[in-house]
């Protein structure tokens, strides 16, 4: 989902509100339960559209174009809303490798904190958006976003067991 404004609901309601299209959120990308991440290769710029926008249980993956929509925040979440985070758009964009990026709030903290992510220009599976530092999150099933149909434990530890993932 992307968010058009920063006014909002209480932290514990964030994911459910986004999933239901409430509180200014627009659902833009979905990958179903399985062993692969999003097929997109646009590094989360929103320039790719594929599939047909559906429901939480939609199979296959889908994405709408959102590169021309003015927004200020991303919400990343597992399909079951057990794991989620809200982050400013400028923390996702730019090029970085294992760099600290600020998370506004998440399923693990109602307060802002930093996590180490990747968004490298020549790595089509990037960005890697994780609840904590990337290396820890991969092992713990806390990866919330990846691309290029990347599999391995990056996907099997979270996408397969948490009913897919959404932006």
Question: Three-state DSSP class for 98?
Answer: strand
pLDDT digits 0-9 by tens, 103-127: 999 989 989 999 999 999 999 999 9
Characterize the bridge pairing of strands 129-130 and 165-166.
Answer: unpaired
What is the DSSP annotation of 24-85?
TEE--EEE-SSS------STTSS---BS----TT-SS-EE---TTS---EEEEEETTSSSEE
pLDDT above 90 covers a percentage of the chain that reads 65
Q: Are 158 and 141 in contact (CB under 8 A)?
A: yes
For the whole model, what pTM was predicted? 0.89
Question: Three-state DSSP class for 90?
Answer: helix
pLDDT score recorded for residue 136: 93
pLDDT digits 0-9 by tens, 57-115: 668 899 999 999 999 999 999 988 889 999 999 999 999 999 999 999 998 998 999 99
Number of residues written out for the chain: 167
């Amino acid at each position: 989902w992307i968010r058009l404004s920063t006014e909002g609901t209480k932290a514990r309601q964030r994911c459910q509100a986004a999933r239901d299209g409430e509180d200014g959120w627009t659902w833009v990308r979905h990958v179903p339960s399985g062993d692969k991440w999003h097929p997109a290769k646009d590094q989360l710029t929103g320039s790719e559209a594929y599939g047909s926008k559906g429901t939480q249980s939609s199979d296959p993956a889908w994405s709408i174009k959102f590169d021309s929509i003015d927004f200020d925040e991303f919400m990343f979440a597992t399909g079951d809303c057990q794991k989620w985070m809200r982050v400013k758009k400028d923390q996702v964009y730019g090029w970085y490798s294992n760099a600290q990026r600020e998370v506004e709030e998440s399923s693990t903290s109602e307060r802002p904190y930093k996590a180490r992510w990747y968004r490298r220009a020549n790595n089509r599976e990037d960005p890697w958006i994780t609840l904590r530092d990337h290396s820890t999150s991969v092992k713990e099933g806390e990866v919330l976003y990846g691309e290029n149909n990347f599999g391995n434990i990056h996907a099997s530890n979270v996408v397969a067991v948490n009913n897919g993932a959404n932006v």
